[in-house]
Chain A
Amino acid sequence: MTAVKLYPPRPDKVYLFGTCLIDMLYPEAGLDSLRLLEREGIEVIYPQDQTCCGQPAYTSGYHSEAREVARAQLDLFPGPWPIIVPSGSCGGMMRTHYPDLFAGTEDEAKATELASRVFELTEFLVHVCHLTLDDRGAPEKVAMHTSCSARREMGLADTGPALLQRLGHVELVEQERASECCGFGGTFAVRHPEVSGAMVEDKSRALEAAGADHFVTSDCGCLMNIGGRLAHRDSSLKGEHIASYLWRRTS
């Protein structure tokens, strides 16, 4: 279980760790995360040498490869500021698995210290920024899929929905079995495509059945999976990262 996290006061500066999926496939989500933070008067530092948190190799069992990739990130955040990650999956990797991954190595203390400064984006916006939102969008119904890593590994089932509820013209609808996995699971989707396919089909149908005009998620793995499934069968339901959604409706 996730330990109770004590939240710091709002800082002047933060780091942004953009994640590899956002970098390659959904860069707007990263940029919108940065914009939301900057609008709060926070200076956002984006270290240009960042690449990937190492999770794909970690969950596949390639821990030395994961460790080397993770090690390449450890020196990129030297200041005492929070590290904001717009993904529960990568955030969970850095917060909960870095200390174990580096246990017994010379970088253990550094990894543990870094882990203590990791915040998932919606967590940071809710608990540290106490974000208020001025919704300028048209009324619509939106459904949220919270990633399993955000929900279980980081204990953040509520922060995404809490932000959506601050949008005045948006009605948050809940899909059946909201807490069930969408079936992405990184390399799981590739190693067990049929099972994963059955899971994402159920998830995408549940989102449609909830009557949502739009869906959002805080993880681009889930977005790629659910959105890809919906697109594959030409559904009218489209999704985006919650950072983009929040920025789009309030800018």
Chain B
Amino acid sequence: MSARDSILGRLRDRQGSALVAPESDFAVVTGRGWSREERAERFTRWITSVHGEVVRCNTADWTDALAGVLAEKQIRRLALGRQHPVALAARDALASHQVELIDADRDIEAWQEELFQHVDAGLTSTRGGIAETGSLWLWPDADEPRLLSLVPPLHIAVLDVDAIEDTLFDVITHQGWASGMPTNALLISGPSKTADIEQTLAYGVHGPRELVVILRDG
């Protein structure tokens, strides 16, 4: 008999009494009832508390905010997609800037070395945010692959205030995640960190040292 069949067999022929599934009342993880502004405020407070930076701006001017961040952080090489509206707008706005734009929509095998060693920042869109924990949620795709938000030392993420929901439970249920998960779904809440050396926080251990959220409003 295969390991599979014998394991499942033992589980099915359980000796003890019949197991009854208790009810799960999810009220404690939903129904926060926060206003739009409370959501933005909580999101900002929480993500800032774990070393994330938030730049809030008018949606119309968001690429100016992006240019400001790139200038401030002295970013020379920025990797980004080519199809998402965020990437398209950024490409338009940055065409006349000093920043070199790197196409991220390439097979990693073709440019792993470059991505790991010669990219200063990655720009991504986000699908939404979570107020309760100060989290971004991303579904990386062909245009904005998974490593774009992980490998460069700076991750710049663009989020709309209207896309912030109260809790993770709300996002999973409202957005119908269970009916179709992508290859990789991600929550990101701050830059990479560790406390493995005597509980002292250090940032950028494997992923980005810095996370900047451009929070678009209006």
Touching chains A and B, CB distance < 8 Å: no
